[in-house]
Amino acid sequence: MAVMVEITQSTATADADLADALAHDVSAHINELYPKAEKERANEPIFQAQLTRYACGGLVIGTACHHQGADVHRRPRMITGISSSRASSSSHSYGVLPMDRIKNLAVHFPDEFVADLKARVGTRCSTFQCLRSHAGEKITAARDLAPDDFTQVRVAVNCRGRPTPPVPRDFFGNMVLWAFPRMQVRDLLSSSYPVVVSAIRDAVALVDDEYIQSFIDFGGAERGVIEDGGEELASTAATPGTMFCPDLDSWLGFRFHDLDFGCGPPCAFLPPDLPIEGIMIFVPSCDAKGGVDLFMALDDEHVQAFKQICYSMD
């Protein structure tokens, strides 16, 4: 199998410092820091990287990776491995919406806010579990859905440790399946945090050894169908403009600060603009006081309502 890798390099303007860029509205120019794929061949490159050097000497590395090459849990290890090779090398080379209605925004949750959320849950829970319960409730309220409607959260589940025997943590490839916690809107908005966290945990627990094996078996059967001249499965990947309800991902456990290309660990790690409404990504904050940043894409009609209630714990 041929693997296509593209590396492009660009240079920032001479009077731009990285600290200034991070201190201001990063989202206004974030897409300039990521590699651009030509639409007619967007699915060809497995991995792309763009290097942007700032006048102060700071370096921004923007990457794009096809999910057939690596899932979101393997990708950080892959990038870390690339940076590690530098240290060992002897080389010294240095619903569909119109796109204009999808607004990207960032919300900062300080450590104190996260601690208060965990205290309200009452039982032991991870930072991601309490924040995804909170964010899922607030985005549902901002969308002003009917009480009788059902809403669900699509949660990416890293399956490496779930089969029997478990898959090695360093397995290269895609080992993510989705869990779909589902509640009626009136129940979600009226339930306590422990109830919502429990509903998410129960849905994730269903992605067990038997469930994972069924996907593996189905994949093997599908390959046989294709070899016999049958049709391939249709892709379920979302197209730009799609509306999720919502789709939550956590980058909180990724070891991005293990990266070192010779100038120290990164001072920030930021996703690009998200073209699919409802995608929400939790990232360790680059703020000196810590906390968590939530990057999300939301229908412009719901942005103001979400901003007004995103810090409310009522």
Residue where the block lists tokens 């309220």: 141
In the chain, the N- to C-terminal Cα span, in Å, equals 53
Going by their DSSP bridges, the two strands 59-65 and 47-53 should be labelled as: antiparallel
Q: What is the 3-state secondary structure (H, E, C) of the chain?
A: CCCCEEEEEEECCCCCCHHHHHHCCHHHCHHHHCCCCCHHHCCCCCEEEEEEECCCCCEEEEEEECCCCCCCCCHHHHHHHHHHHHHHCCCCCCCECCHHHEEEEEEEECHHHHHHHHHHHCCCCCHHHHHHHHHHHHHHHHCCCCCCCEEECEEEEECCCCCCCCCCCCCCCCCEEEECCEEEHHHHHHCCHHHHHHHHHHHHHCCCHHHHHHHHHHHHHHHHHHHCCCCCCCCCCCCCCEEEEEEEEECCCCCHHHCCCCCCCCCCCCCCCCCCEEEEEEEECCCCCCCEEEEEEEEHHHHHHHHHHCCCCC
Q: Active-site residue numbers?
A: 67, 260
